[in-house]
A and B are shown apart, each in its own frame.
Chain A
Amino acid sequence: MACLSDETLIATNENSLGAIEAAQARDHLLLCPACRRAAAAFRLLDSVLAEPVLHEPPPRLVPQVMGRLFPALPRLTSIAAAVAASAVLLITWIYIYFDFSSSSLVQALRLTADGTSGWLAGVVKGITSVYDGALAAQKAGAALLRMLLPAPLGTAVLAAAVALAALLGFTLLRPRLRRAEKAAGSGSGPERP
């Protein structure tokens, strides 16, 4: 009988041959030292492969995945900034919506101006007229806003408009700032090779 093929030897080791083929292979192995050696070599190979040499994953692997999946909460400074910005928006909205035209401080100033004469009355009248001007502008703006949009939506639109304007300003100014920075850098710093 011819020697067993590698495939048959591997299948013999894996016990995956049919009953007749397995019996024939067993008989041949009893008689053929070369095939016995080859079968032993495949057995050694199988046993070594069954104990894989695994590379150790770095300890940062799992924590980094957790960090990417569940980003940490925002830092205290960002929370404080967000709270401050919200407070400014809220105060602006309250001021526009509830119309504080009868400020007690201005009333007091007006009474003082009525009761006095000379240069002090002039100063007080100047202050109150500036205040009146600002108040009129604010009233006109608030009326327009109230006419165009319901109050909370108006505030949101105002906030978005301010943010957009800031972004636009930053975008427009950035190249100039960079150019200025570069010019300052090349003027004073050492030359690069």
Chain B
Amino acid sequence: METDEDQVLIRRALRGERRAFEELMRKYEKRIFGFVVRMVRNEETAVDLTQDFFIKMYTVLDKYNFEYKFSTWAYRICYNLVIDHIRKHQAQVESLDDDSISPRDLLASDNVNREDGFRALSRAETRDYVWRVVDGIPLKFRELILLRYIQDLKYEEIADITDLPVGTVKNRIFKAKEILKQEMEKDGLLV
């Protein structure tokens, strides 16, 4: 995402141009919503939280420091909002695990071919499978995978957003990948 373009939009929004803020929202809504929905695992809650995030962002837009990257600042606000929600509604978020669709459901599909005892998925099916496994891993790993791959952030930026040391961020992401690889091996997806 082009940071300069964001800053132009912010300046316009701060001058009172509603359309500029709307444009900024349109630019980020998919990634923000994509992140929030995978964090809380409930679409309606994700809609509410994404809306709350944009409203909060608008109210503190005048506090944004133009020396820093806008997306990191915005993701930090979003992350804090979502984490606060999860802490307040821990029981509800955890109970969603029981209802979520298992990645193994995907492997039961007729489209899956078998070669030499191993399952071969198409690229799109592999993506679906891996991201469903991501949905099922513990939050402390999932949040970092989401920040790294949905928000496309560097380890240092993730550390800044989550207030974790860079080493911990790296280790947890490595661990998350190990978990994902183990799941894939268990399901016979890796030769």
Do A and B bind? yes
Q: Which of B51-59, B62-70, B74-82, B86-94 contacts A (4 or more CB under 8 A)?
A: B51-59
Report the number of A-B residue pairs with Cβ-Cβ less than 8 Å.
87
For residue B7, CB closer than 8 A to chain A, the reply is no
Contact string against A for B residues 153-171, beta-carbon threshold 8 Å, 1 for contact and 0 otherwise:
0000000000000000001
Contacts of B29 in A (CB 8 A): 57, 61-62
Q: How far is the CA of A70 from the CA of B54 in the complex (A)?
A: 13
Q: How far is the CA of A10 from the CA of B171 in the complex (A)?
A: 11
Interface contact B130-A69, CB-CB below 8 Å: no
Contacts of A44 in B (CB 8 A): 126, 190
Q: How far is the CA of A42 from the CA of B55 in the complex (A)?
A: 39
For residue A37, CB closer than 8 A to chain B, the reply is yes
Interface contact A65-B131, CB-CB below 8 Å: no
Contacts of A46 in B (CB 8 A): 177
Query: Knowing A61-B33, A62-B26, A70-B18 touch, does A55 contact B177 (C-beta < 8 A)?
Result: no
Q: How far is the CA of A117 from the CA of B43 in the complex (A)?
A: 88
For residue B22, CB closer than 8 A to chain A, the reply is yes
- Which residues of A from 17 to 59 have beta carbons under 8 Å from B? 37-38, 41-42, 44-46, 48-58
Q: How far is the CA of A25 from the CA of B87 in the complex (A)?
A: 42
Interface contact B55-A69, CB-CB below 8 Å: yes
Query: Knowing A6-B174, A52-B131, A54-B150 touch, does A62 contact B47 (C-beta < 8 A)?
Result: no
Q: How far is the CA of A10 from the CA of B26 in the complex (A)?
A: 34
Contacts of A38 in B (CB 8 A): 181
Contacts of A57 in B (CB 8 A): 29-30, 33, 47, 50
Q: How far is the CA of A38 from the CA of B51 in the complex (A)?
A: 42
Interface contact A66-B22, CB-CB below 8 Å: yes
Contacts of B37 in A (CB 8 A): 55
Interface contact B51-A49, CB-CB below 8 Å: no
Contact string against A for B residues 18-41, beta-carbon threshold 8 Å, 1 for contact and 0 otherwise:
100110011001110110011000
- Which residues of A from 53 to 107 have beta carbons under 8 Å from B? 53-58, 61-62, 64-66, 68-70
For residue B9, CB closer than 8 A to chain A, the reply is no
Contacts of B54 in A (CB 8 A): 62, 65
- Interface residues of chain A: helix, strand, loop or mixed (majority): helix
Query: Knowing A57-B47, A68-B51 touch, does A6 contact B31 (C-beta < 8 A)?
Result: no
Closest residue of chain A to B46 (Cβ to Cβ) is A55
Interface contact B34-A65, CB-CB below 8 Å: no
For residue A191, CB closer than 8 A to chain B, the reply is no
Interface contact A55-B181, CB-CB below 8 Å: no
Contacts of B181 in A (CB 8 A): 6, 38, 41-42, 45
Interface contact B177-A10, CB-CB below 8 Å: yes
Residue of B43, B134, B178, B190 near A55 (CB, 8 A) is: B43
For residue B191, CB closer than 8 A to chain A, the reply is yes
Interface contact B127-A53, CB-CB below 8 Å: yes
Interface contact A49-B145, CB-CB below 8 Å: yes
Interface contact A45-B130, CB-CB below 8 Å: yes
Given A56-B30, A58-B47, 14 more contacts at CB 8 Å? A38-B181, A45-B130, A48-B123, A48-B127, A49-B148, A52-B149, A53-B128, A55-B34, A61-B29, A61-B33, A61-B51, A65-B54, A68-B51, A69-B58
Top 7 closest pairs, chain A to chain B, by CB: A54-B34, A57-B33, A53-B131, A49-B149, A65-B54, A55-B37, A48-B130
**21 residue pairs from A and B, CB less than 8 Å apart:** A6-B174, A37-B190, A42-B177, A44-B190, A45-B130, A46-B177, A52-B34, A52-B131, A54-B30, A54-B31, A54-B33, A54-B34, A55-B37, A61-B51, A62-B22, A62-B29, A64-B51, A65-B55, A68-B51, A69-B55, A69-B58
